[in-house]
Structure 1
Amino acid sequence: MLTIFVFFLLFSLPPPTLSINQEGLYLQHVKQSLDDPNGFFSGWNDSHRTPCNWTGITCDSASGSVTSIEITSANLVGPFPVIVCRLRYLEYLSFYDNYLNSSLPPDISTCQSLRHLDLSQNGFTGNLPDSLSSIPTLEYLDLSYNNFTGEVPATFGSFQKLEVVSLVDNFFSGKFPMFFSNVSTLNTLNLSFNPFLPSRLGPELGKLTNLKYFWATQTNLFDELPDSLGTLKNVLNFDVSQNHLTGKLPSSLTEMTSAIQIELYENKFTGELPLGWKNMKSLLRFDAAMNNLTGTIPDELAQLPLSSFNLYQNQFHGVVPESIADSPNLYEFKIYNNRFAGELPRKLGENSPLNLIDVSFNNFTGELPPNLCANRELAELLVIGNSFSGEIPASLSECKSLTRIRLSGNRFSGNVPSGFWGLPRTSLLELEFNEFTGKIPKSIASASNLSLILISNNSFSGKIPEEIGLLTNLVSFMADNNRFSGSLPDSMLKLPQLERLHLNNNQLSGEISPGIKSLKKLNDFDLGNNDLSGSIPEEIGTLTSLNYLDLSNNRLSGSVPGELQNLKLNEFNLSNNHLSGELPPFYAKEMYKNSFLGNPGLCGDISGLCDSKVEVQRERYLWVLRTIFVLAAIVFLVGVVWFYYKYRNFKQVKSTIDKSKWTLMSFHKLGFSEYEILDCLDEDNVIGSGASGKVYKAVLSNGEAVAVKKLWAISKFAEGGDIENGGVVQDNGFEAEVETLGKIRHKNIVRLWCCCKTKDCKLLVYEYMPNGSLGDLLHGPKSGLLDWPTRYKIALDAAEGLSYLHHDCVPAIVHRDVKSNNILLDAEFGAKVADFGVAKVVDAIGKGTKSMSVIAGSCGYIAPEYAYTLRVNEKSDTYSFGVVILELVTGKKPVDPEYGEKDLVKWVCTTVDQKGVDHVIDQKIDSCFKEDVCKLLNIGLLCTSPLPINRPSMRRVVKMLQEVSGETMSKAGKKDGKLTPYYYEDASDHGSVV
C-alpha cells in the first residue's frame, strides 16, 4: 500500500522547470531597453536554458558563454545597452545600421574582453568617453556615420592592440588627432569627413609602419605633406583628398612601394610631379586632380599598371607619354582642363579595358586613336574643346558600349559613320562646332536610348529622316546652323519627351504641321531663318510648357493665331515673314514690337507696324466689322443659353448613368461617398490645372473640404508604359501615386483619402490644403505672408516628410519631383509633401542607384548627376530640397531670365562669392533673423553640392534644421562678414547640356 502511495505522489508532482541562465537574463534586459519595430527580438525567449540559439548571438562551444552579439540593420531604437558589458567573455559586439541614440556611456570600458566594436550608422551624440581606450583587448573600433561632437580624446593614443579605427562622417572638432601615431599596431586609420580645426599632417605619421589604409578626406588639413611618408612601406591606400594641402608633392611619396591607390585630388598642390615611380609596381589608381600642379607626366608614372589615372583641372603641359597606352589595366583616363598638346598615344585603348576617356579642354591635335574601343568596354568619350581633326574612326561605329559621346569644339570633318548614329546605348551624342558633312542616316532608328542630339554648327545636309521619330527618349534635338532641307518630319512631332527643338539657320521648307500639338513637353522651339511657308498652326497655343518661340525670317503667311495668347513666353519672335491682319490684343503692345517687325500687312496698336494702305482699309471697314461683331454676339448669346439648358439635361442623364460605373478604393475611414465627390466636379470648383490634370475643391455635406485631382485621359504613348516629366505620369502615374500614398502615414505627407476610377477617368481625393502650394505663395502676390519663422517651419516640415520617405519607408521611396509647387500648406502653414506621380522605390537607402528610362523632375530642381546619368537615389531628392531652401531664403524662382545661363543654385553661389550674403537674402525677411537665415542658406548650399557624396542624408538635414534656432553659426560658415558656401564645381561635365 505504501509503494502505491509513493508511486502516485511522484506522478502527481509538477515537472521540474528550466530557468534561463544569468547571461540570458542580461540579454533579456537588452531586449526590454530597446524599441524593436521589426521584431528582431521575437525569438529571444526563455524556452532554452542559454541564449546561444538566439538570433545574433554566438557562444563558445566549450564553455557555453556568449562571445559575440551581432545585431545589424534591425531598426532598433534607444540608448546603448551597457548591460552587455556584464557578459565577461564578450569579444565581438556590432550594432551596425540601427537607430541607437543618446551619448556613449563611460561604462562601456567595462567590456574588458572586447576585441571588435562596431557602432557605425546610428544616431549617437555627444563626446566620446575617454575611458574607451582602457579596454586592453580592443582591436577593431568603428564609430562612423554618427553625430559625435567635441574632440577625439587624447587617451585614444594609448590603445594597446588597436588595429582598425574608423570615425568617418561625424562632427568631431579640435585638432586632427595625430596622437594615433602612438598606436603602433594600427593598420587602418579612417578619419574622413569631419570638421577638424585646420591642422598639419605631422611627421609622426611615419611612425605607423604597419599602416595599410590612411583615409583623411575633408578633414581640414593644410600645409605640406611630411617627408616621413617614405617610411609607410605597407600602405595600400593613401587618401588626403578634398583638403587645403599646399606645396610640392614630396619625393618620399614614391617610396610607398606597396601603394595600390593614392588620392590627392582637390587640394592646392603646386610644382611638378616627383620622379622615382618605377618601384611602385602595385599602383593602380592615381588621382591628383583639381590642384595647381604643372609640368609633364613622368614616363615612370605612365609605365605603371594604372587602372585609373586622373590629373584633370591642373596646369600640366607637354605630350601624353606613349607608354600610358601599354597599361594592361587602364580603365579611366581623365586629364581634362590642362594644357596638354600634340596627339593622343596612337595605341590608346588597344591593350587595356578603357571605359572612360576625358581629355577635354586641352590643345590636342591630330586624329583620334583608331582603336579606343578595341576591348568593347568604352562607355564615355569626351574630347571637347581641342583641335582634333580628321574623320571619326570607323571602329567607333561598332562600339556598342558607348553611352556618352562629346566631340564638340574641334575640327572634325567628313561624314559621320552610319553605325555611329545608331549606337544602341548612347544617350548623349554631341558633335557641335565641327566641320562634319553628310546626312543623318536611317540607321539612327537603332539608337533607342538617345536623349540628347547636339549637332549644331556643322555642315550636315539633306532631309531629317522619319526614323528620328522612333527615338522615344529624345529630349533635345539641337541642329541649328547646318544645311538641312525638306520639311520637318511628321514623326518628329510625336516624340513624347521632346523639350528642345532648334533647327534655325537651315534650309527647311514646307509648312508647320498642326500635329505639333503632340509635343506637350516642348519648352524651346526655334525654326528661324529657314524657308517655311503656310500659316502658323493655332495648335502651338496648346503647348503650355513653351517659353521660347522663334519662327522669324521665313515665308509664313496668314494671321497671328489668337491661341498664342495662352502661352507664357520669355522669348518670342515672328519677325520678317508675310503675316497680316490684326495682332491678338495681348501682343498689340509696344514691348512686343520687335517680335513682329518685317511683316508689312500686320497691324496693331504699335507705332510704325502698319503701312498706310492697310491703315486706310482698316478705317474703311471698321464700322462693318463692328456691325458684324454685334450681330455675331447676339447669335452667340442666344446659342449659349440654348446650349446651357440642353447640356444641363444631358449632364444630369449622363451623371446618373456614369455614377454606377465608378469604383472606390479608400485608405482611411471615410465620411462621404463617391457620389458626393462626383457632384462637385464642376468647372466653378477648379482651383488648379497642370500637365497631369485638373484639381477641384469639393465641399462635402458635412462641411469638410477635400481636394480632387482628375487625371487627364491616357494618351497612346502611355498605353505602352510610363511617360514622365515634371510631375506627369499619365497612366502609371495614377498607379504610382496610389501605390505610394496609400501606404504612407506621416504628418508631413499629404493624406490620400481614397481614389475613384472608371475605365476612362481616374480621381485622387486628398485632404484639402487651404493655403495652396509653397511655390504659388512664395512667388505670388501673397509672399508677404511668409515671415521668417513661417519659412523656417515650412523647411523643417518638408524635410521631415522627405526623411520619412528615405529612411522610414521599407523599401525606401525617392520622390523625384521635389519642388516648391509640390509642398502644400495647411491652414496653420504646416507643410506637407505632395504629388507622388513619378515617385520610385529603391532597394536600399544609400546603396546603389536606380536607372530611369528618361529624366523626371522639374527644370531648376534636377540634380546634376540625374540629368546626365539618369540614375536616381535619395541624394537626388536632397538636391531638389536644397533648391527649395534657396527659394525660401532668396524669394526667387529656381530658373529665371535674371540668372542668364545659370540656375538659382549657381546664381546664389556666384553672388555670395562676389557680393556677399546680403545680396541673396529676400528683402522681405526681417534683418533680425539674418543669423538663422545664413544657417539655412548654408544647409541649402550643402544639399545642392554637385557631388552626391557631399550632400547630407535627409535625416541629417532634419537634424541640422532643428539646430538652426538653437546654436550660433559655426566659424566655418561665416568669415569676415561673408558667407562661405558649401559648393564644389562639378568636374565631370564642364557645364550643363540640359
Structure 2
Amino acid sequence: MASSPFATFILLLMLWSFGHRLAAPAATLSREAVALLSLKADIVDETGHLDNWVDQTDAPTCSWNGVMCNASYAIVGLDISGMNLSGSLSPSIGQLNDLINVSVACNNFSGSLPIEITELANLHYLNISNNLFNGIFPRNISKLKSLQVLDAFNNNFTGELPLELSLLTSLRHLHLGGNFFTGVIHPQYGNIESLEYLALSGNGLTGRIPPQLGNLQKLEYLYIGYYNVFDGGIPAELGRLSNLVRLDVANSCLSGAIPPVLGSLSKLDSLFLQTNNLVGPIPPELGNLTNLRSLDLSNNRLTGVIPPELANLLKLELLNLFLNTLHGGIPSYIGDLPNLQVLTLWENRFEGPVPQHLGQNGQLLEVDLSSNYFTGPIPPDLCKGGNLKRLILLGNQFSGLIPTGLGSCPKLYRLRLGENQLNGPLPSGLLALSELSLLEAPSNNLSGILPEHIPMSSVLGSVDLSDNHFYGPLPSSIGNLGQVVDLHLSDNHFSGSIPQAIGQLRSLAKLSLSGNTLTGSIPLAISKCQSLTTLDLSRNQLDGEILVQLSDLNVLASLNLSRNHFSGPIPSSLAGMVTLTMADFSHNNLSGLIPDEGQFANFNHTSFDGNPMLCGKQVNCKALHLSNSTEVEEPKQSKSLIYGMSGLVVGLFILTVAAVVYVLRNERDKQFLWSLFKMNLLEKRWKLTAFERLDFNVNNVLDCLVDDNIIGKGGSGTVYKGLMPKGKMVAIKRLPAIRKGALDDDDFGFSAEMQTLGNIRHRHIVRLLGCCCNYDTNLLLYEYMPNGSLGELLHGPRGGSLNWVTRYRISVEAAMGLCYLHHDCTPMIVHRDVKSNNILLDSNYEAHVADFGLARTLHDAGKSESMSSVAGSYGYIAPEYAYTLKVNEKSDIYSFGVVLLELLTGKRPIEPEYGECVDIARWVQKQMLSKEGILEIVDGKMGLGSTSKQMQEALLLLKVALKCVADMPDQRPTMREVVQLLSDISKEHREHHITILASPPSPPDLICI
C-alpha cells in the first residue's frame, strides 16, 4: 500500500534527525579540544597521564587532566608538569588564545620551543623548566606583554640571551639558569623595572655585572652565580635593591672587596658570596642586615677579624667563613646568637679560646673549627639542645676534658677531635650513642680504661683512639661494635690478651693494636673477621705460634706481626694468600724455612730480620742448612699428556687464524661481510629517540659502523666516530640489546645509560643526543669529543703536551661533573666506573664525565647498597667495594682519587714498576716516605722545578688525591669538599674561568618533585 505524503515526511524527518546525531560529535568538537588533541599527537605519554584527552563530545575539555577553565569554560590554564612526558611541544598551543598559565616543567620534551607560543597575548606564567628544549630562545618573546613569570631553567637552549626580554615590562620572575646561554648580562635588564626575580645562574655569562641591575627596585631574588665568569667585582649599585631578599653571586670568579653598601639591604635574609676571589676584610656594615639568616663568605681570600658589628644579626642561622685567611678570636657574641645552627670556620688562622657559652641556644647542628689555632677547653654546652650532628675540632690546641654532654648527644653522628691536647677519659655513654658513626680522637693525651660494658652499636663504623694514654684490658664487650670497619687503638698502654670477642666484628676491615703491651697469643676467633684487609699487631708482647688460620682471611692485604715474641715456623699456608701484598714478621723468635712461593717471593729481607732461626732466600741462613733444591718430578705420562693437549690447542688456533686471514684477505671480502651484516641489521625495525633536534636518520648512523671509524673499545661497548650529512660529528656507542628481565648488575648498560643521561644535564657531563635500538643492537649517540679520553691522551704519545695548568683544570672540571651527580641529582647517582678513559675532552680540552653503563641511583647518601658482583675497572675499585660488594658515593671518590694520581704522576693505575699486586695508590704512599720519593711522584714531563710555585700546587693536589684514596670510606671527603679543596689550590687558575660548584640551586618554590 502506498504511503501517504505525511508518513513520508515523518520518515524523512526521522532519518535526518538520526543522521544529524551521528555527525554531531565531529561537528561540535570545540576549537580548544582540536588544539589539545593536536598537542597530544606530538607527545609521547608512556604512563597514560593524558588518556582522558579523547575525541568525544561527552568528554568536556575542562575535565581533562592538566586543563583548567574559567567560569565561561574557556581554557585558561595548562599544567602537565611532572608527567614523564616526552616528544615535542606542538605549534597548536598557540591556538589556545585564552591561556594565562602554562607549565610543562619536569618532563623530557625536546626540540625547539614553538614560536606560536608567543601568540598567547594573555599569558602571565610560563614554566618550561627541567626539559630538553634546545635551539635558540624565541626572539619575539617580547610580544607576551602580560608575562610575569618565565622559567626556562635546566634545558639545552644555546646562543646569547634575547635582548627582547628587556621589553617585558610586566615580568616579575625570570629564571633561565642551567642552559648554555653565552654572552654578557645585558644592561637592558636594568630596564625591566617590574622584575621581582632574576636568575641567570648556571650559564656561561662573562664580562662585568652591569651596574644597571641596581635599577630593579622591585627585585626580591637575584641569582647570577654558578658557571658565570665575571670580571671585576660586585657593583656597589646592587646596594640600591632595597627589596632584595636573597643575593646569590657565588662561584663566579669575582674579585675585589665586598661593597660595604650591601649593608643597606635591610630585607636580605640570605647572602651567598662563597667560592670567589674576594679580598679584604668583612665589611662591618653587614651588621645592619638584621633580617639575615644565612651568611656564606667561605672559600675566598678574606682577611682581618670577624667584625663586632655582626652581633646585630640575631636571626642568623648559618655562618660559613671557612677557607679564608681570617685571624683573631671568635667574638663572644657568636655564642649569644639565639638562632645559630651552623658555624664553620675551618682552615683559617683563628686563635685563642672559643666562647664557653657557645651552644647554650640549644640550636646548634654543626660546628667545624678544624685547622686553626684555638686553645683552651671545648665549650661544655655544644649539645645542650640535643640537636648537634657534627662536631669537627681536629688540628687545633684544645685542652682539658671532652665535655661530658657529648656522651648523651642523641643525634651526633660525626665526632673528630684529633691532633689536640685533650686529656682525661672518654665521656660515659659516648660509645653507646645510637647515631654515632665516626669517633676520632687520635694524638691527644686522653687516658683511662675503655668501658667494661660497651652496648650493641648499629652504626659506629670507625673508631680511632690511637696515640693516647688509654690503659687496662680490652673489654670483651668490644665485640658489640658489630658494624665497626676501622678500629685503631695503637700507641696506647692496653695490656692483657686480645679478647676472643674480636671475632664478632664481622665488618672489620682494618685493625691496629700496635704499640701496646698486649700479651698472649693471637685469638683463634680473629679468623672469623672475613672482611679484614689490614691487621697490625706489631710492637706488643704477644707470643705463641702464628695462627695457621690467618690464611682463612681471604682479603687480607697487610699483616704486621713484628716486634713481638712469636715462635715456631711461618705457616706455609700464608704464602698461598693472593691478596697479601705486605707482611712483616721481623724481630720475633721465629724459626724454620721461609716460604718462597706466592707473595712471599716478593718480600725482601726486612720482613724477616731479627729472627736468627729463620732460613730462606730472603735472609742468610744462620742456624739451618736446608736445601731449597728439592723437586718432585712429574710422572712422564702426565707430562706427555700435557704436551699433547698443548699441541692440539696450538694447532687449532693456527687453523682458525689461517681461516680468518683467508676470508679477509682483501678489501672486497671485508665490504662483502659488512654488507651482509648491515643487511641483517636493516632487517630489524629501528627506533630513533632524539633528545634534541637531529639532522640525520638511522641510515646515516648505520653507515658509520665500519671498522675504520672505531675510536674506542671497552667492556661496555664499541665507540665509532660518525660524520653526519650536514657535517656534524657524533660519537656512536654500540651496545648489545637488553634481554627481557635482564636489568641486574651485570646486564645493566644500555638501560642505565639511557635513564641516567636522559635525565641529567651538566656542562661537565657528556651530552646524549639520542639513541637507536632494535632487537639486536643498541646505539647511543653522543656529542663528539675531538681530543678523546683523558686516559688515552695522558698515557699516549701526546701525554707530554698536558702541562700543569691543563691537568689542574681537567681535575676541577671532572670533579664538578661528579659533584653534580652526587649532590645535585635526586636521587643521587653513583657512577661506579670513574676512570681516566671515561673522562672525555672536547676541542678546548674541557673535561666531560662519560660512560654511565654501570651507574646506579642511591636514595640515601652515605648508605651502602649491595651488588651481586664487582663492577668497574681494575686499579680504580675502592677496597670496600671489592671486598664487600657494597657501594656508595665514597666508592666514586676513591676512583676519582686514582684519576688525580694519574694526572699528577702521568702513570697508569697499574704499572710493573710498582711491584706485583701494588697499585698506584699504594706506590704513591710508599714514595711519600722520603722527600726524594715525593718529588719523583710528580710527572717529569710537566717540567716543574722542585721549588716552583706550580710544584707546590701539584703537591697540594697530591694531598687532595691521598684524601680521596683513603682506605676507609668515612675518611674520604665528599665530592663537594673535593671540589672546594681543588679550587683553592691555585687562585690564579680560578681567574682563568674555572668555576667551582656543580650546579646552581633550584629556586625555592620551583623544584621538581
Q: TM-score, normalised by structure 1?
A: 0.69
Following TM superposition, by how much is the alpha carbon of 1:345 offset from its aligned partner in structure 2, in angstroms?
A: 1.1
Measured after TM superposition, the shift of residue 572 of structure 1 is 2.0
In structure 2, the residue corresponding to 1:160 is in which secondary structure?
coil
Whole-angstrom distance in 2 between the partners of 1:418 and 1:42? 63
Amino acid at match of 1:355: L
Residues 573 and 146 (structure 1), Cα distance of their counterparts in 2 relative to 1, 3 Å cut = same
C-alpha change, 1:400 and 1:483, in structure 2 (3 Å) is same
TM-superposed CA distance for 1:251, in Å, is: 1.0
- 1:770-849 counterparts in 2 under 5 A? 817-818=832-833, 842=859, 849=860
Question: Is the 8 Å Cα contact of residues 186 and 210 (structure 2) preserved in structure 1?
Answer: no
Residue-by-residue CA offset, 1:531-555 (whole Å, 9 max, x unaligned):
1111222222233322222110011
Deviations 1:61-82 (A, max 9, x none): 12x2211111112222223322
Alpha carbons of structure 1 residues 979 and 506: separation in structure 2 relative to 1, 3 Å:
farther
Q: Distance in 2 between matches of 1:444 and 1:174?
A: 62
Aligned residue in 2 for 1:415 = 425
In structure 2, distance between residues paired with 1:260 and 1:575: 63
Structure 1 counterpart of 2:37:
28
Q: Does 1:204 align with 2:212?
A: yes
Greater CA deviation, 403-412 or 588-597? 588-597
Contact 1:247–1:268, Cα closer than 8 Å, also in 2: yes
1:493 to partner: Cα distance: 2.3
Write the distance in 2 (CA, Å) between the matches of 1:865 and 1:85: 56
For each residue in 1:298-332, what CA deviation from the matched residue of structure 2 results, as whole angstroms up to 9, or x when unmatched? 12213312100111111111121111122221110
* 2:223 matches 1:215: yes
Q: What's the counterpart of residue 931 of structure 2?
A: none
Residue 590 of structure 1: how far off its partner (Å): 7.9
* 2:922 paired residue number: 897
Q: CA RMSD for the aligned pairs?
A: 4.6
- Secondary structure of 1:130's aligned partner: coil
* Residue 125 of structure 2 is aligned to residue 108 of structure 1: no
Question: In structure 1, what is the Cα distance between the partners aligned to 2:887 and 2:201?
Answer: 25
Q: In the superposition, relative to structure 1, how do residues 214 and 387 fare at CA in structure 2: closer, same or farther (>3 Å)?
A: same
- Partner residue of 2:779? none
CA distance in 2, matches of 1:950, 1:28: 50
User: 2 CA distance for matches of 1:325 and 1:494?
Assistant: 44
Where does residue 302 of structure 2 map in the other structure?
Answer: 293
TM-aligned CA distance change 1:372 to 1:747, over 3 Å: closer
Determine which of 264, 267, 282 is the counterpart of 1:255.
264
- The alpha-carbon distance between structure 1 residues 118 and 860, as it changes in their structure 2 partners (threshold 3 A), is farther
Tell me, yes or no, if structure 1 residue 498 matches structure 2 residue 515: no
Map 1:883-962 to 2 at 5 A.
891-892=908-909, 896-900=921-925, 947=975
Shift of 1:42: 1.1
Q: Which residue of 2 aligns with 1:168?
A: 177
Comparing 404-413 and 468-477, the one that deviates more = 468-477
Number of residue equivalences: 760
TM-aligned CA deviation for residue 356 of structure 1: 0.3
DSSP 3-state at the match of 2:563: coil
Cα offset, 1:457, TM superposition: 0.6
Supply the distance in 2 between the matched residues of 1:607 and 1:260 (Cα, whole angstroms): 71
CA contact (8 A) 1:748 1:832 kept: no
Q: 1: CA distance between counterparts of 2:34 and 2:940? A: 64
1:592 aligns to 2:639 (yes or no): no
Shift of 1:872: 8.9
The answer on whether the counterparts of 1:139 and 1:163 sit within 8 Å (CA) in structure 2 is yes
Partner of 1:571: 582
State how far apart, in whole Å, the 1-side matches of 2:170 and 2:259 are. Answer: 31
Amino acid at match of 1:892: P
Structure 1 residues 401, 882: closer, same or farther in 2, change over 3 A?
Answer: closer
Query: Which of 293, 307, 312 is matched with 1:284 structurally?
Result: 293
Name the residue aligned to 1:544. Answer: 554
For residue 332 of structure 2, the aligned residue among 322, 330, 334 is 322
For 1:24 and 1:329, locate their aligned partners in 2 and report how far apart those are by CA, in whole Å: 54
Between 813-822 and 320-329, the greater mean CA deviation after superposition = 813-822
1:436 aligned to 2:446?
A: yes
Q: Is the 8 A contact 2:90 2:114 kept in 1?
A: no
Match of 1:796 in 2: none
Q: Which letter maps to 1:190?
A: A
- Aligned residue for 2:435? 425
Residue type matched to 1:567 in 2? V
1:798-848 deviations in whole A, cap 9, x for unaligned? x9xx99xx99xx99896675467999xxxxxxx998889xx6664xxxxxx
After TM superposition, the structure 1 stretch with the greater mean CA deviation from structure 2, 226-235 or 592-601, is 226-235
Change (3 A) 1:784 1:395: closer
Tell me, what secondary structure is at the counterpart of 2:169?
coil
Per-residue Cα deviation, 1:378-419 (whole angstroms, up to 9, x for no partner): 111111111111111112211111110000011100111221
> Does the CA contact (< 8 Å) of 2:150 and 2:174 recur in 1?
yes
Is residue 93–residue 117 contact of structure 1 (8 Å, CA) maintained in 2? yes
In the aligned structure 2, how far is the partner of 1:186 from the partner of 1:866? 51
Given that 1:303 and 1:323 are in contact with CA atoms closer than 8 Å, whether structure 2 keeps it comes out as no
- Counterpart residue type for residue 898 of structure 1: W
TM-aligned CA deviation for residue 431 of structure 1: 0.5
5+ residue gaps, structure 1, are: 638-706, 708-736, 751-766, 768-777, 789-798, 824-830, 843-848, 904-909, 920-939, 952-974, 987-994
Name the residue aligned to 2:697. none
Specify which of 271, 278, 302 is matched with residue 269 of structure 1. Answer: 278
Alpha-carbon distance between aligned partners in 2 of 1:208 and 1:862, rounded to the nearest angstrom: 52
Distance 1:422 1:5 in 2: 98
What amino acid is the match of 2:213?
A: L
Q: CA deviation at 1:193?
A: 1.7
Give the C-alpha shift of residue 598 in structure 1: 0.5
1:605 aligns to 2:605 (yes or no): no
Question: What are the superposed Cα offsets for residues 659-690 of structure 1, whole Å, 9 maximum, x if unpaired?
Answer: xxxxxxxxxxxxxxxxxxxxxxxxxxxxxxxx
SS in structure 1 of the partner of residue 566 of structure 2? strand
Q: Provide Cα deviations, 1:846-898, integer angstroms capped at 9, x if missing partner.
A: xxx4562689889986899999xx9998x778768867988899642585323
One-letter code aligned to 2:593? E
Distance 2:30 2:218 in 1: 42
Tell me the distance in 1 between the aligned counterparts of 2:268 and 2:50: 44
| Aligned residue number for residue 147 of structure 2 | 138
Aligned to 1:532: 542
Question: For the Cα contact (< 8 Å) 1:256–1:280, is it kept in 2?
Answer: yes
CA distance in 2, matches of 1:879, 1:43: 47
Verify the 8 A CA contact 1:421 1:440 in the aligned structure 2.
Answer: no
Change (3 A) 1:313 1:256: same
| C-alpha separation in 2, matches of 1:878 and 1:124 | 30
Deviation at 1:490, TM superposition (A): 1.9
**Residue identity opposite 2:614 in structure 1:** L
* Residue 368, structure 1, aligned to residue 378, structure 2: yes
Q: Matches of 1:949 and 1:408 in 2, distance apart?
A: 19
Deviations for 1:406-459, whole angstroms, at most 9, x for unmatched residues?
000111001112212221110000011100001111443244310110111101
Partner SS, residue 112 of structure 1: coil
Matched, 1:465 2:490: no
The AA in structure 2 aligned to 1:592 is: N
CA distance in 1, matches of 2:96, 2:140: 18
Q: 1:144 to 1:899 in 2, by over 3 A?
A: farther
Alpha carbons 2:275, 2:996 under 8 Å: kept? no
1:588-637, Cα deviation, whole Å (9 max, x unpaired): 658511100011111012353x21x323xx36xx99x88xx79xx99xx9
Following the alignment from structure 1 to structure 2, what is the Cα–Cα distance between the partners of residues 902 and 114?
Answer: 66
Residues 337-389 of structure 1: CA distance to partner in whole angstroms, max 9, x if unpaired? 11112211121111241010011111111111111111110111111111111
Residue aligning to 2:131: 122
Instruction: Give distance in 1, aligned partners of 2:551 and 2:213.
Output: 69
SS of 1:100's equivalent? strand
Q: Give the drift of 1:230.
A: 2.0
| CA-CA distance at 1:200 after TM superposition | 1.5
Residues 486, 606 of structure 1: CA spacing in aligned structure 2 closer, same or farther, 3 A cutoff? same
For the Cα contact (< 8 Å) 1:822–1:833, is it kept in 2? Answer: no
Contact 2:461/2:483 (CA < 8 Å) preserved in 1? Answer: yes
Q: Distance in 2 between matches of 1:578 and 1:80?
A: 81
Change (3 A) 1:339 1:522: same
